[in-house]
Structure 1
Amino acid sequence: MIPFKKWFGSKPEGEELARQLDADNIPNHVAVIMDGNGRWAQKRGLPRVAGHHSGMKNVKRITMAADSIGVQVLTMYAFSTENWKRPKEEVDYLMKLPLEFFPKEIDELIANNVQIRMTGWQEGLPDHTLKAIEDAIDQTKRNTGLILNFALNYGSRKEMLRGIQQLVQDAKENKVHPDGIDETLFSKYLLTDPLPDPDLLIRTSGEKRISNFMLWQLAYSELWFTDLCWPDFTERHFFEAIQEYQRRARRYGGL
């Protein structure tokens, strides 16, 4: 049985299920593709942006759930390098969400020792978006608890190509010897360094693909998919994903 941590006395859905989890087999790093916000809204006759707003509110709920059972890193895929192709109105709205989320939640995040990080490229992000994120990172940089990592303006192929380019440059400058290039070294050239690779990937909305997300890092991650759209994904569903993770045997190619 797991000792359950509550945020400000709040009682999440599925608390009893969480207490039944094996405290010695909690995934260190959980990554989430928060998919289905727009479809969730359209099914309700609402504009797509209403789904993104509901999805934003769900980030805190799942962060609380992850923190309550001892997850150390929670990465949320918030905006991909391909998402710039969406309608400008929708992109502009998504870029404003950090301005709403962080000021509203930062005090509670700090009180619960959560550290904010970002994985992605700053280039291309609006100044107001970047400032909201940088302020949150700065305000929580001394925290030592759960790392809430937002993958924002992130794409894995671009990440790996940039890493290879830098690695080649370092080899040319004799900072790296070709014989010394291995998986550990290459991982240091990725945006996720020094975070551990995800143990578990969760994707909502019924899609069963990785969508250019952490292609290198997910090599041996357990994958868990649900038909629920992200705004409908509750703490109980998160704990169900952890429960399924604990049923699996991770062999890493061995027996």
Structure 2
Amino acid sequence: MSLQHVAIIMDGNGRWAQKRHLPRLLGHRAGVKAVEKTVRAAANLGIPYISLYAFSTENWRRPQTEVKGLMSLFRYYIRKKILELVQENVRLRFAGRIQDLPQDIQEIIHEAEEKTKDFQRLQLIVCLNYGGRQELIDAVQEITREGYTGEITEETIRSHLYLPDIPDPDLIIRTSGECRLSNFWLWQGCYSELYFSPLYWPDFNEEALKEALLSYEKRDRRYGGIKR
């Protein structure tokens, strides 16, 4: 597998539920099962990094009942999966304004990152309370606080991103048929290949992932240059 990092915008949980006349929160719960299938498939395919857009900085605008339900789901899922990730040699990391999340969730996240920090089979990056614009604002503010007076370069910015050590995503997949990035990996995704799946996220599976990877493998990535 030539690519290093697959990023996924997990879209369509609510519409999946509404189509079945179910509460939106049940769609999010179904989405958790799709996460399990996709992460397992990525690990088996030898993909070193997979990042999932779980909750954006804009998602706080959703109805409070849905937000509270999502927070409860995060608490349950992260706690439940720590032991399984340890057994599978998967490192769990988080990107976003974690400091703005409820204190107990911050503690769960810290525990998960600590317990899995030495594992390298696959790095699973969960983007939680994440926004691409906010990440850049935070990076610039941190540079300013440091009193930096040198030339601002790409490396200066990169070194102040939430997870500066991870490779840029080679492929960004978005489910549900929507064709936009929704403020996801704006800096890191500047040369990412994009793949839009018509499936709602709960219906996404290993076969759908392989279809996306096959599409990627057929593409010619030139990074603004010309192949000679």
**TM-based fold match above 0.5:** yes
TM-aligned CA distance change 1:120 to 1:185, over 3 Å: same
Question: Of residues 156, 168, 174 in structure 2, which corresponds to 1:185?
Answer: 156
Question: Of residues 104, 119, 126 in structure 1, which corresponds to 2:80?
Answer: 104
Within 2, Cα distance between the matches of 1:168 and 1:130? 26
Superposition pairs of residues 224-239 of structure 1, within 5 angstroms: 224-239=195-210
Q: Does 1:148 align with 2:121?
A: no
Within 1, Cα distance between the matches of 2:24 and 2:107? 25
Within 2, Cα distance between the matches of 1:72 and 1:192? 15
The answer to whether the 8 A contact 2:99-2:106 is kept is: no
Amino acid of the structure 1 residue aligned with 2:209:
F
CA drift at 1:211: 0.5
Match of 1:65 in 2: 41
CA drift at 1:168: 3.1
CA drift at 1:144: 1.9
Match of 1:35 in 2: 11
Give the count of matched residue pairs: 226
CA drift at 1:127: 2.3
Tell me, which stretches of 5 or more residues in structure 1 are unaligned? 1-22
Superposition pairs of residues 235-246 of structure 1, within 5 angstroms: 235-246=206-217
The answer to whether the 8 A contact 1:98-1:132 is kept is: no
Within 2, Cα distance between the matches of 1:128 and 1:254? 48
Question: Of residues 211, 216, 223 in structure 1, which corresponds to 2:194?
Answer: 223
CA drift at 1:176: 4.4
Q: Does 1:252 align with 2:223?
A: yes
The answer to whether the 8 A contact 1:156-1:213 is kept is: yes
Within 1, Cα distance between the matches of 2:163 and 2:113? 15
TM-score by length of 2: 0.95
The answer to whether the 8 A contact 1:167-1:176 is kept is: no
Within 2, Cα distance between the matches of 1:59 and 1:176? 43
Within 2, Cα distance between the matches of 1:189 and 1:218? 16
Task: Write the deviation string for residues 102-130 of structure 1: whole angstroms up to 9, x where unpaired.
Answer: 33332221111100000011233112322
Question: Of residues 73, 79, 98 in structure 1, which corresponds to 2:55?
Answer: 79
Within 1, Cα distance between the matches of 2:142 and 2:50? 27
Amino acid of the structure 2 residue aligned with 1:72:
P
Within 2, Cα distance between the matches of 1:176 and 1:32? 37
> Secondary structure of the equivalent of 1:201?
strand
TM-aligned CA distance change 1:104 to 1:219, over 3 Å: same
Runs of 4 or more, structure 1, over 6 Å off, are: none
Q: Does 1:162 align with 2:129?
A: no
CA drift at 1:150: 0.4
TM-score by length of 1: 0.85
| Aligned-residue RMSD, C-alpha | 1.3
Amino acid of the structure 2 residue aligned with 1:76:
L
The answer to whether the 8 A contact 2:172-2:194 is kept is: yes
Amino acid of the structure 2 residue aligned with 1:177:
G
Match of 1:195 in 2: 166
Q: Percent identity?
A: 46
